[in-house]
Structure 1
Amino acid sequence: MSRNRKSAKTAGTRFETAVRDYLAWALQDERIMRPRLHGSKDMGDIANVCFMGQKVCIECKNTAAKAYKQHLREAMVEAGNLDAPFYFVVQKVPGIGIRSIDSIGQQLAYTTPEVISLMRREAPQDDLLNEPYSFTPLASTGFVSCSLKSLALILNHGITLGTEQES
């Protein structure tokens, strides 16, 4: 493995770990983990995330290129392998670190409008999904995005995240 490829793999692993740690903290669920690789049958980078009792596939990307369509296509395939109706890509935002709860919460999460519609049908009472500011259009891709913190709030049905509950 070349030095550049090795450092990119290390950066990706670090990002996946930060996202896993953030979601485990935010949702107060120690079962959230990074699963083993399954070759062509990968099932996302973060496992054991659910919404309304159904699986959510989370694919993490720490890349300079904004290959939104390619990354979301990968998430969609892996969601199929996982039998998950919901899927998101969490993309590292350049210039924003991943060492604090606040900075990791600022990372970009995106999916298709169809996934959001399905989530709305599953949880029609969830005001967070019905707010127009929850998701915004992502450039000219046709996809929608929010921060990782907003996604965590939606997955947690608006309940305060992590140990903030104890404050």
Structure 2
Amino acid sequence: MSANKAKGTRLERQAADYLADALNDDRIDRMPLHGKGDRGDISGIRTVLGERVVVECKNHNRLELAQWVKEAETERGNADAHAAVVVHKRRGKGDPADQYVTMTLRDLAVLLGAQANPNRPDAIDQVAETRLT
């Protein structure tokens, strides 16, 4: 395995383990490779309403946020998920909890409880009535 691939795999493992522990959910884990139909790097993540979320992990020296978000959006479609986020390495920070997360505002709204429109992934139908208390 190349050094760059090992860095990416390490971030994926750390992020998956952190999220599984923080959310007390042992279904969260690294996603098996799918090649052309990639569905993200971490499986088992859900919105507050229980909808699937794609998590793409990146450990690169150079930030390419637009490209990474586009890749995550493609994977969201492949996974039939409602939101997509990119976890990317924060230089000088080894704690998984200190890594950055990038997403669209639409995806943030979906994570927080807005209803995604399944026919238009770029749109939100309404704010869900169900809220966590």
TM-score range, shorter-chain basis?
0.7 to 0.9
- Asked if residue 121 in structure 1 is aligned to residue 97 in structure 2, the reply is no
Q: Give 1:124-143 correspondences, 5 Å limit.
A: none
Q: Choose the corresponding residue for 2:60, options 52, 59, 63.
A: 63
**Identical-residue share of aligned pairs (%):** 38
CA-based RMSD of the aligned residues comes to: 1.8
- Asked if residue 47 in structure 1 is aligned to residue 43 in structure 2, the reply is yes
Q: Choose the corresponding residue for 2:3, options 2, 7, 11.
A: 7
Unaligned 5+ residue runs, structure 2?
116-127
Q: Choose the corresponding residue for 2:17, options 14, 17, 21.
A: 21
Q: Deviations over 1:137-158 (max 9, x none)?
A: xxxxxxxxxxxxxxxxxxxx69
Q: In 1, Cα distance between the equivalents of 2:18 and 2:109? A: 25
**Structure 1 residue 125: deviation in Å?**
6.6
Q: Structure 1 or 2: larger helix share?
A: 1
TM-score (norm 1): 0.66
User: Could you say which residue in structure 2 is the equivalent of 1:110?
Assistant: 102
**Structure 1 residue 117: deviation in Å?**
2.9
User: Could you say which residue in structure 1 is the equivalent of 2:34?
Assistant: 38
**Structure 1 residue 114: deviation in Å?**
1.6
SS at 1:54 equivalent: coil
Q: Deviations over 1:66-108 (max 9, x none)?
A: 00000010000001000001110000001111xxxxx211110
Unaligned 5+ residue runs, structure 1?
98-102, 127-156, 159-167
TM-score (norm 2): 0.82
